[in-house]
Each structure stands twice: as C-alpha cells, then as structure tokens.
Amino acid sequence: MKHHSGRVEVICGSMFSGKTEELIRRARRAMIAKQKVQVFKPVIDTRYSVERVTSHNGQDFEAIPVPTAQDIWGQLEKDTTVVAIDEAQFFDFGVVAIVESLAKRGLRVIIAGLDMDFRAEPFGPMPVLLCLADDVQKLHAICMVCGEDASRTQRLVNGSPARYDDPIIMVGASESYEARCREHHSVPGKENG
C-alpha cells in the first residue's frame, strides 16, 4: 500500500527517553497496516546488535546498518513505503537531502535521534531534520539525580561529568551516560555552564 503523500516524522530527546522504542512501535504498526518497512541505522551503532535496532528495554526490529546516509539508496527496495532511520544524529548532513527526497517520492520517513549532544548543544543533522519534519515528538527520560523529567544526556567518565572538550561521539549506554534534567546536567569547561 502506497501513501497518498510523503511525510517526515522526527522522534527526539535525551538518551533513555524511549526514542528507539517509539520508532519500533511505529514500524510495527506500519507493518500491521501492510506497509513495506525498512529500518536503517549507522554502522557505528553496535551496542546491542549489528543488524537490529534495539531499545534500552530490549525491544528490537530488523535493521540495515549503513556506513553513510548515501548508502540508504543502495539498500532501498522498490516496494518500500516506510523508511525508519535510528540514531540519525550519527549520520552526515547528507541524510537531510535523502529524507527530503524520500518524502517527495511519497514515502513516510520516521527518524529517531538525540537532539542534543552531551554538551546540551544541537547534535549533527538533527536540528535541520526537526525543522523540516511534518511531525515532531520530543520524549523525556527521568533525571537520575532528582527524578524529574530529563531532557539532557549526561556523559560520565569514571563516574564524573565529561569535560566540554571531550569527543562528541562515543557510542555507549548506561555505563557511560545518564539522563539528567537541566538543573543537574553538568559540563565542566563549558562557558556559562
């Protein structure tokens, strides 16, 4: 079943907010509706499985790992009507043109990714994708310090907050990251932070 028009849906938030879980939920619902779904993820995300997207609570879905956004074209099947892209913040800015092109072809594109890096700054192509989206859902986790809603990702190095000048990309899970609220998020070395 083909869609009448394409659309772009972005699911964003901090780590542990349920972004991948929501992407999987939407992909499964599309399959129930007899849509042809393909899920893509960056090849660097090998935390749980190479050929699956997996949420922190263990839900998973078959996925195609690709080294760059451009590689999506080579894997895209003719009858696909829904394309889901997990961990979109790890892709280059070429993902923006690909997403726009897919939507113009009438496909539904579901994107999940961190909107901010551990510094609480816009992450990769996500800000542009948020602007171009037809629908945006920002999810929140629970702050590991106070239990309030968390919108930030706290990177930890030996149990202490990572410094501002640490590398932006470091794939990890609960051993390296925590969800934090604005008040309890800390980035030593960041001006005004």
Q: Give the active site residue among 9, 21, 22, 87.
A: 87
Query: What gap in Å lies between CA 63 and CA 44, rounded to an integer?
Result: 13
Cα separation, 72 vs 8, whole angstroms: 16
Q: Are 104 and 111 in contact, with CB atoms under 8 Å apart?
A: no
Among this protein's residues, is 87 annotated catalytic?
yes
Contacts (Cβ under 8 Å, ≥6 apart) of 188: 161, 163, 164
**3-state SS class at 142:** strand
Three-state secondary structure call for residue 81: coil
Q: How far is CA 117 from the centre of its chain?
A: 11
Q: What is the CA radius of gyration of the chain?
A: 17
Distance separating alpha carbons of residues 33 and 24, to the nearest angstrom: 14
Residues in contact with 56: Cβ distance below 8 Å, sequence separation at least 6, in sequence order: 15, 16, 20, 21, 173, 174
Give the residue numbers marked as catalytic.
87
